[in-house]
Amino acid sequence: MQQNERKYFLMENKNYRTLNVLSLGREACAPLHSFGYAYTNFYLIHYVMRGCGTFVKNGKSHKVCAGQMFIIKPDNTYTYTADEKDPWEYMWFSFKGDIAAMFEALPDVMPVESTVITQMLRAEEYETMKMEYVTGKLYEFVAEIFEEKSARKDYVKIVEDFIKANYMRKIYVKDIAKMLNLNNKYLSRVFKAGKGVSLQEYIIAYKMQKAQALLFKGLSVAEAARLVGYDDMFAFSKMFKRYMGEAPSQIYAKKVAE
C-alpha cells in the first residue's frame, strides 16, 4: 500500500499578536488518503501543488486541484480526501492573530496565482529565524491576496458602470480590457469571479433587458434593436429569444394588441 510522504517544519511559537504561524508542512498523499472528521480554533490553509482531492466543510463538498487552496476556518467541521487516480500533494500552514479574521470573508476554495505561498517552504533553510521568515511570507501573502480581492471589486464595478452607460453602442470585451490596461483573459476571469457570469454574457443580457423594456414601451423591434447597438435585426431577434425566452416580435405584437 502506498504511503504518504509528509514533512513538518518545526517552529517555536512566538505568540505574535497580529499574525502568528502555528504550523507549516508539506504532504504527498496516497490515493484516497483522508483526514478528519475534525474541528479547529485557528485558520488552516492547504495549497494544492499537484493532483486533486475533495474538501468537505460542514457537509458541503468541493473538488480542489493544483493551483487552488482550501481554507479551514475556526468553528467548522471538515474532512478532506485525496483523489483515487490523481492524489494531491499540498503544503499547509495554520495561523492565528488579529489579521487572520480577514480570511473569514474569503470563499472556502479559491485559485492562487501568488508564488509567495510556496516560498514559505524555504523555511528549512533557516535555523533560529524560521518563525520570522514564514510570518514575513504570510504577511506578503495577505497583502497580495487582499489587494487582488479589492482590485477585483473595483474592476467589476467599473465595467458594470461602463456597460450601463454605453449599452446603446457596440461593446467588445477587448476594448474594455484595453481601456483598463488589462489582459482580455484576466479581465474576463476577474469579472466572472465577481459576478458569476462571463463578461460577454453580462453585456448581452443587459442589452436584452434594455431592449425588452423598450418593447414594453411600444417601440418596434427595429427601433429596440438599434437602441441597444444591433444593426442586424436577425442577430438581435435570435439573441433576444435566447436570453428572454420569446421573440421580440411576440412582445411587440402583444403591446400593439393592448
| Per-residue pLDDT, 151 | 60
- Burial of residue 189 (CB within 10 Å: 0-12, 13-18, 19+) is middle
- pLDDT bin (cut points 50, 70, 90) of residue 153 is low
C-alpha cell at 209: 433587458
Report pTM.
0.60
Helix (H), strand (E) at residue 255: helix 248-257
Q: Across the chain, what does the average pLDDT equal?
A: 90
Domains, the chain, ordered by start: 5-148 (2.60.120.10), 167-258 (1.10.10.60)
Is the predicted pLDDT of residue 243 greater than 50, yes or no? yes
Neighbours of 29 (CB within 10 A): 23
- 99-134 as b/e, with b when 16 or more CB fall inside 10 Å? bbeebeebebbeebeeebbeebbebeeeeeebbebb
Is the predicted pLDDT of residue 154 greater than 90, yes or no? no
